[in-house]
A = this chain, B = another copy of it.
Amino acid sequence: MLSHLSNYEIILASQSPRRHELLQGLNIPFEVKVIDIDEENYPHQLVGVDIPMYLAEKKADAYLQSMNENTLLITADTIVWHEGHVFGKPKDKADATRMLKALSGKTHEVITGVCICTLTKRKVFHVISEVRFARLLPQEIEYYLNNYQPYDKAGAYGVQEWIGYIGVEHIDGSYFNVMGLPIQRLYNELKRWKK
């Protein structure tokens, strides 16, 4: 499958081990590169889906000068969007506790922006999943933060970890998007990718 892309060198520019795992699931060869950009830094008038789309493009821009004509670059950014606020990666345990308390018993949106680009073409899209958390007990939040490392995860939780098992009541949309990459939509975009 996706053999029309075999002339490309596909690069996933992301530090996230979840994204590596998800892209691996497509059974296509790719390389991982890491770009450091400041994820906190986006125009303050942006809201909702525009934030991760902006950041995905910014990650792509940071890589542009390293690309050649055979490079197909994939970048992504995931945020938790809840009651008009962005929940990014928590700074510390207090911040993570605050986020999980705010998400407890409520529904939030997980939004991933994805940018696919070559030197001559660019496609940016986003996917939204709605996630409903059960009411979390303070000792459940405490247990999670003492035993797991949510500091590289938007909204301070990994849906594929203990907190996702015991806490996520309902997902409306793509589970893999909540992990960090809307893999079915990405596959679709790659399937119809033309030079």
Q: Which of B22, B165, B168 contacts A26 (CB 8 A)?
A: B165
Q: Which residues of B contact A165 (CB under 8 A)?
A: 22, 25-26, 176, 183-184, 187
Known pairs A1-B143, A140-B1, A172-B172; A184 contacts B162 (CB<8 A): no
Within 8 Å of chain B (Cβ to Cβ): is A174? yes
| A170 pairs with B162, CB closer than 8 A | no
Q: Which residues of B contact A139 (CB under 8 A)?
A: 1
Instruction: Looking at the assembled complex, report how far the CB atom of A21 sits from the nearest CB atom of chain B, in whole angstroms.
Output: 10
Known pairs A175-B171, A175-B175; A134 contacts B166 (CB<8 A): no
Q: Which of B25, B140, B174, B187 contacts A170 (CB 8 A)?
A: B174
Number of copies: 2
Instruction: Looking at the assembled complex, report how far the CB atom of A45 sits from the nearest CB atom of chain B, in whole angstroms.
Output: 31
Closest to A159 in B: B175
Closest to A143 in B: B1
Within 8 Å of chain B (Cβ to Cβ): is A7? no
Closest to A176 in B: B165
Q: Mark A142-182, 1 if CB is under 8 A from B, else 0.
A: 01000100000000000001100111111111111000000
| B174 pairs with A173, CB closer than 8 A | no
Q: Which residues of B contact A168 (CB under 8 A)?
A: 174, 184
Within 8 Å of chain B (Cβ to Cβ): is A65? no
| A134 pairs with B184, CB closer than 8 A | yes
Within 8 Å of chain B (Cβ to Cβ): is A120? no
Instruction: Looking at the assembled complex, report how far the CB atom of A68 sits from the nearest CB atom of chain B, in whole angstroms.
Output: 28
